[in-house]
Amino acid sequence: MTTQNAIDWPEEYLPGTGDNFVSNEVTVAGATAANVWRHLVGTSEWDGCYDNVADISFPQGGGPELKDDLVLSFGTFGFPPLDAHVVEFASPVEGVPGRLSWTAKQDGTLEERLDVLHARPVEDLPGGRVRILIQEARIGHPAAAPAGERPTPMLDGHQAWLDGLASASK
Given this model, what pLDDT does residue 3 score? Answer: 58
Which residue ranges form the domains of the chain, and what is each CATH number? 16-50+90-169 (3.30.530.20)
Q: Is there a cis peptide before residue 146, judged by omega within 30 degrees of 0?
A: no
pTM: 0.92
Tens digit of each residue's pLDDT (9 = 90 or more) over 139-157: 999 889 888 888 888 999 9
Average pLDDT over residues 93-116: 93
Question: pLDDT at residue 37 above 90?
Answer: yes
Average per-residue pLDDT in the chain? 92
Alpha carbon separation from 82 to 74, 76, 115, 164 (Å, rounded): 5, 8, 10, 22
Given this model, what pLDDT does residue 1 score? Answer: 39
C-alpha span between 55 and 166 (Å, rounded):
23
Given this model, what pLDDT does residue 155 score? Answer: 92
